[in-house]
Homo-oligomer: A and B are copies of this chain.
Amino acid sequence: MKSPIPDYLHHVLEVARPNDGGAAAAYIETLAKADTSKMAVALAMVDGNVYSAGDDRVEFSIQSIAKAFVYAMAIEDSGLEAVLKKIGVEPSGDKFNQLSLERNTNRPMNPMINAGAITAHTLVVSPTATLHQRTERILQALSRLAGRQLRVDEEVYEAELRTADRNMAIGYMLKAAGVISCDPQEAVRGYIRQCSINVNVQDLAMMSSVLANGGMHPLTGEQMIPQTSVRQVLSVMTTCGMYDAAGDWVSNVGFPAKSGVAGAIIGALPGQVGIATFSPKIDERGNSVRGVAMCEQLSRDMGLHMMDVSHVARSTVQTSVSTLVDGEHENHNKNCERKVIVFKLRGAVRFPGAERLTRALSRELGESDPMDPGSGDHRNACAIVFSFRHVYSLNFIARRLIHENITRLLTEHKKLVIIDPSSVLEWDPAKAKEGRNPMVVKDDTEARDYIGGTGCHAVSQDPEW
């Protein structure tokens, strides 16, 4: 069977292709003479699988898209606090190459405009590093993100350097304002060199998927960018990535994105997918015309909007009651007949799932409430089972809340068994309060054995705990 996904991507390309608006960036000779008929789109899954369509091997300079990753490197090399001192996070409502700083703080408004990006560049390696050290660090890091050795397009670099007056102006402004401490000429040359690295849409999709994957490289499993940096980068891409159209982009597309003047756009939706599009003609804001159209369609078709409410998690907790009976002597051993209450969660459990469990625990095991018939019915259950068989992840608030529930139950001297074959609960017996630990087991059998004692087994409508 052939995957329908490449077909879909071709469809996306062909829908956008007739849109002939915009023009190749005029200010750099090598960009101006780009082949504007080229188009490509790529998706990279968070496990490293890449789909692409169109001219997916055509290379172009990365331009401003590098800003997102260099910002992450600046945070890594200089620390978030130092970076925030030098570069703001507010959308500017202005052109990307504006010559102005935040009124009160005298910082560039954000790292996605040139002033902020040049500043971020100088915070890579260290403020006293050489041009070569910085550009080498950036080239190698971007190469690792892309999964192949990238190279600088020297022709683009030279051409941009010849028309770098505006950026030089920004560089000197930053120096004058005390934002950067190195030679402005060095800063701008380094910045332009980072812009001149060649990539294709597959590279970009792969790089974006690292952001979508919490900073871990989907192929190598290496944590390339710390999670807190990823969050920071994606936040800034959300509000500042598409220049002066923040609100429009968030409303219409709704995933963090960054565009480059050579015609590429990247996007990343956490936990889902990295996206890259390419088409050289850009609009007056500097965003690829067909690229924006493709991103809008991808978002619409694929439900990639971060505020998408088409799916709301529901009912992730099930409760069931099993009765323990003496397996051998079913009729003789009446006092063996005891109730076991089982709480089963499933899926990726975040706060709402843990809250549901908490609520179910309170209802079933708490006092009987006359207003709520059935509440408190199982407060005398001989054992409690939490089943995480179908839980494939817990986030930290869910884990913390469940840990707290466990501690409280144990304090009440409940017998508690936890079925956790994938060890998602991360219960550390050493940290248990007063040494009270639940019984953590791998499967039903172990659980039933532990609860039932020799010769007992559970009888239940629920075939599986």
Interface residues of A (CB under 8 A from B): 1-5, 45-47, 49, 88-93, 99-100, 110, 165-166, 168-173, 175-176, 184, 212-216, 227, 230-232, 234-236, 238-240, 244-248, 250-251, 254, 256, 270-273, 301-316, 346-348, 350-352, 355-356, 358-359, 361-362, 365-366, 390, 392-393, 395-397, 400-401, 404-405, 408-409, 412, 464
A208 → B minimal CB distance (Å): 13
> When the two chains form the complex, which single residue of B93, B396, B401 contacts A5, counting CB atoms closer than 8 Å?
B401
A154 to B339, CA, bound (A): 57
A1-B361, A89-B251, A401-B5 known; A348+B311 contact, CB < 8 A = yes
Q: Which residue of B lies closest to A170 (CB)?
A: B169
Per assembly, the copies of the chain total: 4
Interface centre among A88, A304, A358 (most CB of B within 10 A): A358
A85 to B401, CA, bound (A): 46
Known: A214-B309, A311-B348. Contact between A247 and B240, CB under 8 A? yes
Q: What's the Cα separation between A216 and B311 when bound, in Å?
A: 12
Please tell me if the beta carbons of B169 and A99 are within 8 angstroms of each other in the complex.
yes
- Determine the chain B residues whose CB is within 8 A of the CB of A214 once the complex forms: 309-310, 312
The CA of A238 and the CA of B320, in the complex, are separated in Å by 40
Say whether B235 contacts A352, CB under 8 Å: no
Is A2 within 8 A of B309, CB to CB? no
Check B392 against A1 for contact (C-beta < 8 Å): no
A302 near B110 with CB under 8 A, answer no
| B351 lies within 8 A of A309 (CB) | no
**Distance (whole angstroms) from the CB of A25 to the closest CB of chain B:** 15
Asked if A251 contacts B272 (CB within 8 A), the reply is: no
19 A-B residue pairs with CB within 8 Å? A2-B408, A4-B405, A45-B355, A45-B356, A46-B313, A165-B175, A166-B172, A166-B173, A168-B168, A169-B175, A216-B312, A231-B309, A235-B254, A236-B247, A239-B239, A310-B395, A310-B396, A313-B348, A347-B392
Complex contacts, A358 vs chain B, CB 8 Å: 3-5
Partner of A184, one of B168, B230, B304, B464: B168
Contacts of A356 in B (CB 8 A): 45, 47
Give the Cβ gap from A360 to chain B, nearest Cβ, in Å: 10
Alpha-carbon separation in the docked complex, A238 to B234 (Å): 13
Contact between B351 and A302, CB atoms less than 8 A apart: yes
Could you tell me the distance between the alpha carbons of A313 and B238 in the complex, rounded to whole angstroms? 21
Please name all residues of chain B whose beta carbon is closer than 8 Å to the beta carbon of A247 when the two chains form the complex: 88-91, 110, 235-236, 239-240
Asked if A235 contacts B251 (CB within 8 A), the reply is: yes
The answer to whether B169 touches A165, judged by C-beta atoms less than 8 angstroms apart, is no
A145 CB → nearest B CB, Å: 15
What B residues does A346 contact at CB under 8 A?
Answer: 346-347, 390, 392
Instruction: Report A426 CB to chain B, min CB distance, Å.
Output: 13
CA A244 to CA B93, docked complex, whole Å: 12
Contact A238 B250 (CB under 8 A): yes
Is the pair A309, B362 in contact by a Cβ cutoff of 8 Å? no
| Contact status of A46 and B271, CB under 8 A, knowing A239-B246, A408-B4 | no
Distance of A427 from chain B, by nearest CB (Å)? 16
Apart from A231-B305, A302-B351: 10 A-B pairs, beta carbons within 8 A: A49-B355, A89-B251, A90-B91, A165-B184, A168-B169, A168-B172, A171-B172, A235-B247, A235-B254, A314-B393
